């Protein structure tokens, strides 16, 4: 079991609950060393949200950080002139009738100011770990939590529909972005406030919602045919193609030498001639050293 599952997480379910569906199906399987088959996801979706939840299965868990590097695509709806403590509809919504009603032009202008690398303060009602405990757990326990700001990358924001109070947006962003906060920042820049009413993750890199597998299928179908190639995790990275001898050397933890065709690249995905991922390699001079190594179908080490 080595690959990725493109799961469509429904609203009302936590990301951990979705992972547990697969974990339970694999509980009796063991790896070569006798340990349980691991399952991990690439980026939490809040219970309110739905859409793509990428799961790494087996050794692919070690490739999850590379999936998280890929752009995330969202479709989001917000209600302008309304707010809640959580930033979404999970808490009581407060109306703000005295705030001005922004025009579409004002919102589009505000969206342009949020493109690029920006500072964002995640909502306190989030799954971020603060001193060993989730932020939302501390909030619900009555604690005051100061959330650290972070730099996130916003590639594009397109306003698809706007009929006050509802605005629908298409967003492409980098890992770590909180869409609830982004919608609030947009409304604030236009002189108002906002609460998130709906969120769907349409894709993570090449993992698209139109090809995602339902929770029902994960509960009932044979899982192995649902696995996607591990190489999908590194489609965005510089890549080098290995000869058979180079593949063997990497399998034994040894460096390989290349020419200068990858000069200026410090990390790359090493693939076999038939497109299987053999490892993640780090460049030192004209040699590549293994950072992570994976088995391929026709070789056992």
Q: Indicate which residues carry an active-site annotation.
A: 46
Q: Name the token pair of 191.
A: 């002189």
- What CA–CA distances, in Å, run from 102 to 162, 187, 196, 197, 262? 10, 8, 17, 18, 49
- Token readout for 276 is 């299987």
How far is Cα 5 from Cα 53, in angstroms, rounded to an integer?
8
What Cα–Cα distance (Å) separates residue 188 from each residue in 98, 112, 153? 14, 13, 19
Exposure of 284 by Cβ count < 10 A (0-12 exposed, 13-18 middle, 19+ buried)? exposed
Element at 246 (helix H, strand E): helix 244-251
| Bridge partners, 8 (sequence order) | 52, 214
Cis status of the peptide bond prior to 18, with omega within 30 of 0: no
**Those residues with Cβ within 8 angstroms of residue 193's Cβ, 6 or more apart along the chain or in another chain:** 80, 81, 82, 83, 96, 99, 184, 187
Beta strand 82-83 pairing with 213-214: unpaired
- 139: nearest Cα among 86, 82, 218: 86
Sign of CA dihedral 259, 264, 266, 267: negative
């Amino acid at each position: 079991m080595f690959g990725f599952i493109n799961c469509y997480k429904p609203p009302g379910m936590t990301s951990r609950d979705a992972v547990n569906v697969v974990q339970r199906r694999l509980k009796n399987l063991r790896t070569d060393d006798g340990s349980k088959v691991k399952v991990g996801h690439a980026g939490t979706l809040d219970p309110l949200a739905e859409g793509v939840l990428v799961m790494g299965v087996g050794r692919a868990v070690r490739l999850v950080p590379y999936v998280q590097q890929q752009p995330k695509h969202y479709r989001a709806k917000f209600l302008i002139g309304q707010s809640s403590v959580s930033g979404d509809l999970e808490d009581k919504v407060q109306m703000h009738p005295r705030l001005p009603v922004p025009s579409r032009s004002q919102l589009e202008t505000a969206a342009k100011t949020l493109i690029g690398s920006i500072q964002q303060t995640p909502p306190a009602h989030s799954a971020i770990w603060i001193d060993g405990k989730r932020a939302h757990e501390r909030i619900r326990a009555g604690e005051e939590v100061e959330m650290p700001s972070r730099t996130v990358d916003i590639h594009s924001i397109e306003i698809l529909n706007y009929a006050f109070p509802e605005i629908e947006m298409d967003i492409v962003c980098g890992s770590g972005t909180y869409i609830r906060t982004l919608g609030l920042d947009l409304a604030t820049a236009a002189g108002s406030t906002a609460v998130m009413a709906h969120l769907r993750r349409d894709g993570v890199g090449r993992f698209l919602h139109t090809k995602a597998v339902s929770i029902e299928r994960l509960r009932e179908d044979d899982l192995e045919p649902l696995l996607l190639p591990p190489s999908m995790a590194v489609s965005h990275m510089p890549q080098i193609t290995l000869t058979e001898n180079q593949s063997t050397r990497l399998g034994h933890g040894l460096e390989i030498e290349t020419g200068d065709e990858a000069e200026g690249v410090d990390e790359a995905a090493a693939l076999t001639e038939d497109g299987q991922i053999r490892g993640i390699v780090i460049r030192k001079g004209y040699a590549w050293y293994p950072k992570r190594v994976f088995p391929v179908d026709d070789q056992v080490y």
